[in-house]
Amino acid sequence: MHPYRTHTCGELRIDHVSQTVRISGWVFRKRDHGQLLFIDLRDHYGLTQVVIHPDKAFLEDCQRVRSESVIIVTGKVVARSQDTINEALPTGRIEVMAESVTVESLADPLPFQIAVEDDGPEETRLKYRFLDLRRDHLHKNILLRSQIIASLRRRMIGHGFTEFQTPILTSSSPEGARDYLVPSRVHPGKFYALPQAPQQFKQLLMVAGFDRYFQIAPCFRDEDARADRSPGEFYQLDLEMSYVTQDDVFAVVEDVIHGVFGEFSKLTMDKPPFTRIPYAEAMVKYGSDKPDLRIPIEIRDVSDIFRASKFNAFRAVVDKGGVVRAIPVKGIAGKSRSFFDKLVEYAQSLGSKGLAYLVWEGGVVKGPIVKFLSEDEIKALAACGDMVEGDVMFFVSDMAGAANKISGAIRVKLGADLELIPKDVFRFCWIVDFPMFEYDEETRSIGFSHNPFSMPQGGMKALLEQDPLTIKAFQYDIVCNGVELSSGAIRNHSPELMYKAFEIAGYPPDEVDKRFGGMINAFKLGAPPHGGIAPGVDRMVMLLAGESNIREVIAFPMNQKAQDLMMNAPNTVMDKQLRELHLKLDLPKEGK
């Protein structure tokens, strides 16, 4: 007989009855009747009830053994009597009558209970992650993650893609996020960087003629965390295709994403082709480039109505080149004063000067700003938002960027607070036509708004003749339920176009050669048109697992401050290691 098990804890059924078996696992629950002891033995596969009768010498040992100890049980499978069958368990029609028990690993009292889900402060859960992972909920999430990744691989290979590995130790790039740096021992003063994404490598694989690349790619970015963004590292389904248009990329991604979501979720979901929303439209209508289409509220631009208005606060903003945005909401006129007050407070916390609103109630229009508005203006606003009795229209006025952000956040908050978000649906969309360049207030200069390697729409003609801020790129995002799954682009594979685009963004040719020489040189030696995208794996799993926090789908996540509380990373190193790496520390003063 195998030293540990002949069967798993999820395996035994009524047709195993009368067999002598051996199972191993963790003591999940004990029910001690003094002369009779039940142990629910748990392993990865399930739960089996072990019964220990009073004539057994090991009864006392088993009574003493604490939860989560590992034991090996040998015994006979017996059918449970009709009145003791547990229909809730797949193994509930049988039990194992113990004939011998070995305590393999005794557990101390635990910092939190395994049998109680969603229990324990996150700090402790992270420190004892291996315990948290024993709990059914997290255990299932991590399994789901594995299954999703297997399915993604299968689907990508089915579409003719080849999986590659690309370097983890690579060079720092000036664009994008902060890099994680790795000092070189062999080259004093020089550093590797961990890849923010395998962007250049995948493009070089296209130049190398592999046609279709994919990778479940680890990406490293030294930026602060969010609920849907784990600090430090995350995974992307990175893909790139040669000789394709934007539509070709969309077709593949829609098939893979819709397929995988359909495979792992029963929720209803948009069918391909997914709605395509130009960036500019999304920013006005939803105040976001990752709109949650489940929320049935659409923001309107009403700047023109206030352009000649007597309401100075708004007119002045419009005069300065700002905008007024209206958020029409159905049937909430009856909400309490504090509902509106809290919303105003929320708007202010986002940096808004205030939050005006009009209420259509009792056949009249009320609200703090109604006295400043003419009848025609109110009529125009009503028409614009299809306002009827019981409706409310909120107003945000600011420069376009801030107004978008604030109105978008209010739209999302209203959706959540008013419970307007259906929980049983996945709404997908593409955001297309991202601007190629944007004005950076901080540096007072023009920079790339997204990926510098994107192909500008209109090509060289656009770069030469158009106001850079009006040039769009073949740059796109795929969004699901307000979560940005991914950014992608048709790439710029022409050296001339590349130099020109970088010139507009303030990089002279020799700088481009220095930073991106590898890729530019490649493009001078025969480069196929190509494009791709990189959906975030963690976020997909999060959506499919129904989690709102990304740590719930990562086996060993770091906390918000990018610390691994279990492994104690980051940590100091020995002086010898520093010396070998030619590093001297220059630490901030103690205490603040």
Residues 203-222 that bind RNA (CB under 7 A): 221
Contacting residue, 11, 19, 20, 92, with RNA by CB under 7 A = 92
User: Does residue number 196 form part of the binding site for RNA (CB under 7 A)?
Assistant: yes
DSSP 155: H
User: Does residue number 119 form part of the binding site for RNA (CB under 7 A)?
Assistant: yes
User: Does residue number 259 form part of the binding site for RNA (CB under 7 A)?
Assistant: no
Stretch near RNA under the rule CB under 7 A, chosen from 176-184, 334-342, 375-383, 422-430: 176-184
Contacting residue, 11, 61, 99, 228, with RNA by CB under 7 A = 228
Contacting residue, 120, 287, 456, 482, with RNA by CB under 7 A = 120
Q: What would the 3-class secondary structure string for 265-277 be? A: CCCEECCCCCEEE
Provide the token pair at 113. Answer: 């209970």
Closest separation in Å from C-beta 213 to RNA? 14
* Closer Cβ to RNA, 87 or 376, answer by number: 87
Residue type (1 letter), 89: L
Closest separation in Å from C-beta 565 to RNA? 8
Contacting residue, 58, 394, 430, 448, with RNA by CB under 7 A = 448
User: Does residue number 226 form part of the binding site for RNA (CB under 7 A)?
Assistant: yes
Closest separation in Å from C-beta 532 to RNA? 10
Residues 300-359 that bind RNA (CB under 7 A): 349-351
Give the three-class secondary structure for 332: coil
Give the three-class secondary structure for 435: strand
User: Does residue number 197 form part of the binding site for RNA (CB under 7 A)?
Assistant: yes
Q: Can you tell me the distance from the alpha carbon of 294 to that of 551, in angstroms, rounded to the nearest whole number?
A: 24
Q: Can you tell me the distance from the alpha carbon of 205 to that of 166, in angstroms, rounded to the nearest whole number?
A: 10
Closest separation in Å from C-beta 366 to RNA? 30
Closest separation in Å from C-beta 89 to RNA? 6
349 and 410 in contact (C-beta within 8 Å)? no
Contacts of 577 (CB under 8 A, 6+ apart): none
Size of the site for RNA (CB under 7 A): 76
Closest separation in Å from C-beta 10 to RNA? 14
Q: Can you tell me the distance from the alpha carbon of 438 to that of 469, in angstroms, rounded to the nearest whole number?
A: 6
Q: Any bridge partners for residue 268, and if so which?
A: 425
Residues 405-444 that bind RNA (CB under 7 A): 405, 409, 442
Residues 466-495 that bind RNA (CB under 7 A): 487
Q: Can you tell me the distance from the alpha carbon of 106 to that of 115, in angstroms, rounded to the nearest whole number?
A: 17
* Closer Cβ to RNA, 159 or 413, answer by number: 413
Q: What would the 3-class secondary structure string for 222-252 be? A: CCCCECCECCEEEEEEEEEEECCCHHHHHHH
Residues 263-302 that bind RNA (CB under 7 A): none
User: Does residue number 124 form part of the binding site for RNA (CB under 7 A)?
Assistant: yes
Stretch near RNA under the rule CB under 7 A, chosen from 59-67, 261-269, 300-308, 417-425: 59-67
* Closer Cβ to RNA, 344 or 358, answer by number: 344
Stretch near RNA under the rule CB under 7 A, chosen from 46-54, 355-363, 498-506, 508-516: 46-54
Q: Can you tell me the distance from the alpha carbon of 492 to that of 497, in angstroms, rounded to the nearest whole number?
A: 7
Contacts of 476 (CB under 8 A, 6+ apart): 246, 249, 250, 430, 431, 432, 434, 487, 488, 489, 533
Closest separation in Å from C-beta 345 to RNA? 10
Residues 556-575 that bind RNA (CB under 7 A): 559-561, 563
User: Does residue number 362 form part of the binding site for RNA (CB under 7 A)?
Assistant: no
For 426-444, letters b (16+ CB in 10 Å) and e give bbbbbbbbbbbbbeeeeee
CA pseudo-torsion sign 454, 459, 461, 467: negative
